[in-house]
């Protein structure tokens, strides 16, 4: 990241380069100081970590020293994730179930956001979420009643800066660690991107598939705009009519209606057919009323909010990351968002040396 990282030791620090090579830094500062520095780095910038540690923890530690801790322990976190992936694919039988865990429904969702990498430009960060599905009371604005709807809970996250193949293995390993193969039923949610459904076909092929309702609604709104103009009464009427039909599962009728409009409006036909193709290609993943009635969530807010959380840490003003720097911090950020940083730290700190 483009931060002024110096090589000077922290104020009051007394250790030699040999100490660093022998990995005695934590012994000087204590494990707890190292742990807090790495944890804070997953939340705020290295400069802010330096300030917080000094003002709150009364510990003088330079941002360069903080960066070096993330460099070391981020790699340890990466190693743990890699071992989990290998273990997930080595096992032919499902991971033994925890007898204290009640079986239920589970879900997985995928999304992407952009991170700026030095010498590469903006690159997609793929984000995945594994969750349990539960029923919760929600207030219905139309009926003014509380109704039970499917919701995501116990969310855990993975992220990968790169192609879908490795990301798919990473997400599947997380799902297996969560006893995915013992779930009574499962759901996968995405925004309609082809790479998502290719991964679903490979790793989650026996799950229900659903295009996020809000992305489908956005495409419907775009179709209305193309047909009748931005914000016109005709566009609003068309949208409201087809929003209800889409929710009820009449996506094939919508596709036919758009194709008819493409014939009637040849100047707009290319744009209209693009939207028609989106609904046609995802038609079997748009049974919203049915899935909602069966107790599943129909939105991908659980992963979209996570993508924003990753973006908040990696896309601050002026931030430019080296690829290795971003990749080392990603598992730290994931562990924090998944509420298991302490567990990951314990495994990393007590792991045998390579």
Instruction: Determine the distance from the C-alpha atom of residue 162 to the mean position of all C-alpha atoms in its chain, rounded to a whole number.
Output: 14
Same domain, residue pair 230 and 198:
no
Same domain, residue pair 109 and 162:
yes
* 28 confidence band (pLDDT: 50, 70, 90): low
Same domain, residue pair 243 and 274:
yes
Reported as a single tens digit per residue, the pLDDT across 254-292 is 999 999 999 999 999 999 999 999 999 999 999 999 999
Question: In the numeric block, which tokens belong to residue 321?
Answer: 């990351």
Same domain, residue pair 130 and 179:
yes
Cα–Cα dist 49/67, whole Å: 10
Burial letters 196-225, b for 16+ CB under 10 A, else e: bbebbeebbeebbbbbbbebbbebbbebbb
Same domain, residue pair 136 and 203:
yes
Identify the pLDDT of residue 143.
Answer: 59
Query: For 122-127, what is the mean pLDDT?
Result: 96
pLDDT at 130 over 60: yes
Q: Find, among 17, 45, 120, 18, the residue nearest to 319 by Cα.
A: 45
Reported as a single tens digit per residue, the pLDDT across 188-230 is 999 989 999 999 999 999 999 999 999 999 999 999 999 999 9
Instruction: Determine the distance from the C-alpha atom of residue 101 to the mean position of all C-alpha atoms in its chain, rounded to a whole number.
Output: 24
**Tally of domains in the chain:** 3
Question: In the numeric block, which tokens belong to residue 63?
Answer: 């941002």
Asked whether residue 41 is domain-assigned, the answer is yes
Identify the pLDDT of residue 29.
Answer: 58
pLDDT at 85 over 70: yes
Query: For 224-252, what is the mean pLDDT?
Result: 95
Same domain, residue pair 187 and 219:
no
* 146 confidence band (pLDDT: 50, 70, 90): confident
pLDDT at 98 over 90: no
Residue 139's SS3 state is strand
Identify the pLDDT of residue 92.
Answer: 54
Q: What is the span of the domain harbouring residue 254?
A: 215-285
Identify the pLDDT of residue 192.
Answer: 87
Around Cβ 91, how many Cβ atoms within 10 Å? 12
* 148 confidence band (pLDDT: 50, 70, 90): confident
Asked whether residue 291 is domain-assigned, the answer is no
Same domain, residue pair 185 and 233:
no
Identify the pLDDT of residue 93.
Answer: 57
Asked whether residue 293 is domain-assigned, the answer is no
Instruction: Determine the distance from the C-alpha atom of residue 353 to the mean position of all C-alpha atoms in its chain, rounded to a whole number.
Output: 31
pLDDT at 145 over 90: no
Asked whether residue 290 is domain-assigned, the answer is no
Identify the pLDDT of residue 353.
Answer: 55
* 147 confidence band (pLDDT: 50, 70, 90): confident
Asked whether residue 240 is domain-assigned, the answer is yes
Sign for the CA dihedral angle at 105, 192, 213, 331 comes to positive
Same domain, residue pair 237 and 276:
yes
Q: Residues in the chain, how many?
A: 354
Identify the pLDDT of residue 26.
Answer: 47
Reported as a single tens digit per residue, the pLDDT across 299-329 is 999 999 999 999 999 998 888 999 999 999 9
Going from the C-alpha of 65 to that of each of 62, 252, 348, the distances in angstroms are: 5, 59, 19
Same domain, residue pair 199 and 227:
no
Reported as a single tens digit per residue, the pLDDT across 40-56 is 999 999 999 999 999 98
Same domain, residue pair 190 and 226:
no
With beta carbons less than 8 A apart as the criterion, state whether 134 and 153 touch.
Answer: yes
E strands in 195-328: 208-211
Same domain, residue pair 155 and 178:
yes
Asked whether residue 314 is domain-assigned, the answer is no
Asked whether residue 336 is domain-assigned, the answer is yes
Same domain, residue pair 268 and 345:
no
Asked whether residue 296 is domain-assigned, the answer is no
Identify the pLDDT of residue 198.
Answer: 96
């Amino acid at each position: 990241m483009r931060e002024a990282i110096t090589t000077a030791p922290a104020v009051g620090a007394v250790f030699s380069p040999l100490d660093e090579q022998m990995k005695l830094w934590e012994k000087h500062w204590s494990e707890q100081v190292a742990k807090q520095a790495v944890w804070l780095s997953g939340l705020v910038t290295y400069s802010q970590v330096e300030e917080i540690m000094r003002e709150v923890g009364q510990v003088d530690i330079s941002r360069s020293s903080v960066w070096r801790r993330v460099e070391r322990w981020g790699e340890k976190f990466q190693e743990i994730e890699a071992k989990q992936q290998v273990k997930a694919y080595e096992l032919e039988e499902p991971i033994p179930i925890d007898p204290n865990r009640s079986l239920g429904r589970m879900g997985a969702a995928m999304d992407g956001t952009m991170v700026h990498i030095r010498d590469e430009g903006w690159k997609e960060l793929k984000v995945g979420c594994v969750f349990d599905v539960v029923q919760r009371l929600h207030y219905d604005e139309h009926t003014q009643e509380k109704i039970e709807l499917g919701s995501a809970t116990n969310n855990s996250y993975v992220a990968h800066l790169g192609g879908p193949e490795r990301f798919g293995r990473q997400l599947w390993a997380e799902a297996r660690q969560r006893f995915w193969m013992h779930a009574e039923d499962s759901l996968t949610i995405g925004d309609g991107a082809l790479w998502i459904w290719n991964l679903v076909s490979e790793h989650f092929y026996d799950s229900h598939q659903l295009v996020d309702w809000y992305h489908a609604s956005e495409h419907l709104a775009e179709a209305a705009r193309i047909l009748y103009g931005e914000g016109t009464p005709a566009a609003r009427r068309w949208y409201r009519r087809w929003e209800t039909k889409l929710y009820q599962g009449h996506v094939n009728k919508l596709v036919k209606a758009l194709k008819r409009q493409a014939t009637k409006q040849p100047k707009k036909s290319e744009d209209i057919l693009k939207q028609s193709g989106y609904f046609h290609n995802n038609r079997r993943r748009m049974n919203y009323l049915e899935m909602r009635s069966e107790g599943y969530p129909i939105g991908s807010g659980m992963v979209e909010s996570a993508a924003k959380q990753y973006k908040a840490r990696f896309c601050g003003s002026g931030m430019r990351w080296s690829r290795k720097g971003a990749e080392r911090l990603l598992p730290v950020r994931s562990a924090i968002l998944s509420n298991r940083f302490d567990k990951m730290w314990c495994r990393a700190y007590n792991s045998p040396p390579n």
